[in-house]
Amino acid sequence: MTLPLIGILRGVKPDEAVDIAREVLEAGITQIEVPLNSPDPFTSISLLVEAFGERAVIGAGTVLIPEQVREVYDAGGRLIVSPNCRPSVIEETRRLGMASWPGIVTPSEAFDAIDAGATGLKLFPAVQVGLEGMKAVRAVLPSGTLLYAVGGVGVDNFTAWRAAGVDGAGLGSALYKPGQTPAEVGRQAKALVAAWEAGAQA
């Protein structure tokens, strides 16, 4: 079963993207985004799709305008993650048959995203909203709405976030920081997956 985790490789370079992503995939994380404020992100996305497109969903983060959605699509990406809720970005993503994860904090943003056709919602930054704030948002969402926590979630607090009601998480600096080796990222990925799975039994 695919884990409800998105690996965020912010700052990754094309010449290291495949080796780092391989470690992430081997740990069991099969959704990977390359934020568009990384060096030459479309090249990295193309390389990752070529290497792992059969076994992973590859895409982009920090997608802010519809034109970027089309560029990601042309590079082979099929996952669009944003820090904000912009209906035009969501609508273009869904028109192209891609998965859409816009960033939300408030119920207003959440319902705007749902109305535009979002695949799921990215609660960002989760550390700012906190567990109680997340539960208040979760309480008003339609049944079945997927809510992923991003920003400040990881090994130390997965259990609490899962117990409070999130469906998944995006993993940023806890998974990868620029300059880390593939082996380091692999160890962090395995620890994160183990912690997430442990949270299910808590």
Indicate which residues carry an active-site annotation: 33, 122
- Rounded Cα gap, residues 1 and 197, in angstroms: 12
Tokens of 56: 């992973």
**Phi and psi, residue 8, nearest 5°:** -105, 115
Q: Are 127 and 166 in contact (CB under 8 A)?
A: no
H or E stretch covering 35: strand 31-35
Number of neighbouring beta carbons within 10 Å of residue 132: 8
